């Protein structure tokens, strides 16, 4: 499985591609950051992020895209920028028919470090260890993107089984309760 992880942001949008399957050693295929200037017009920044993500999709041909789920922060402006960058990533993948998964920061931290409250340094250290890298990817947005891809690789099999079970359950005819023969309810 090849996954493009996207840590959305308007100024720095982390991107990282990881390949592998759950239970086996993983391989980093590529890592980087799509950058935009903070003083640029919002529309131009979103176009730059789109172009950067499209280049990553063209070059690495992922089977899945994992994007950090936007959560409420105290700074509304930061949340808006993150949500806008996230939407661009989702749009780019969806336009190509690539499945998109959203993972919360605590899900990613828990998957990679074992604790949903891990700090950025702990995430970077575990990404470095899991991918057998010489040093943690810089900036932290790049390491976070790799962590998203790792999280998806590890969580996808369980999520797929759950989705299949739900789909199977919903396609079966509804069961109507009935009383056993010879008895009245």
Active site residue 7: yes
Judge whether 66 and 103 are in contact, CB under 8 Å: yes
Active site residue 39: no
Catalytic residue among 19, 41, 68, 144: 68
Catalytic residue among 19, 41, 54, 141: 141
Long-range pairs, 108-112, Cβ under 8 A, ≥24: 108/68, 108/144, 108/147, 108/148, 108/151, 109/147, 111/147, 111/150, 111/151, 111/154, 111/155, 112/147, 112/150, 112/151
Residue with tokens 């010489």: 134
Catalytic residue among 7, 41, 58, 144: 7
Active site residue 144: no
Q: Would you please indicate which residues are annotated as catalytic (active-site) residues?
A: 7, 68, 141
């Amino acid at each position: 499985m090849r996954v493009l992880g996207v840590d959305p942001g308007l100024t720095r949008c982390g991107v990282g591609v990881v390949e592998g399957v759950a239970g086996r050693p993983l391989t980093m295929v590529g890592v980087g950051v799509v950058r935009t200037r903070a003083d640029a017009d919002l529309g131009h920044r979103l176009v730059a992020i789109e172009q950067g993500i499209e280049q990553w999709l063209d070059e690495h041909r992922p089977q899945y895209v994992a994007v950090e789920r936007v959560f409420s922060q105290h700074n509304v402006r930061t949340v808006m920028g993150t949500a806008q960058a996230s939407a661009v990533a989702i749009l780019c993948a969806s336009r190509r028919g690539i499945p998109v998964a959203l993972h919360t920061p605590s899900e990613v931290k828990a998957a990679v470090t074992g604790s949903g409250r891990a700090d950025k340094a702990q995430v970077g250290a575990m990404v470095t260890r899991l991918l057998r890298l010489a040093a943690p990817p810089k900036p932290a947005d790049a390491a976070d993107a790799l962590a998203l891809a790792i999280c998806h690789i590890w969580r996808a099999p369980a999520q797929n089984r759950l989705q299949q079970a739900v789909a199977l359950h919903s396609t079966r005819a509804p069961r109507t309760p009935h009383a056993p023969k010879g008895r009245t309810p």
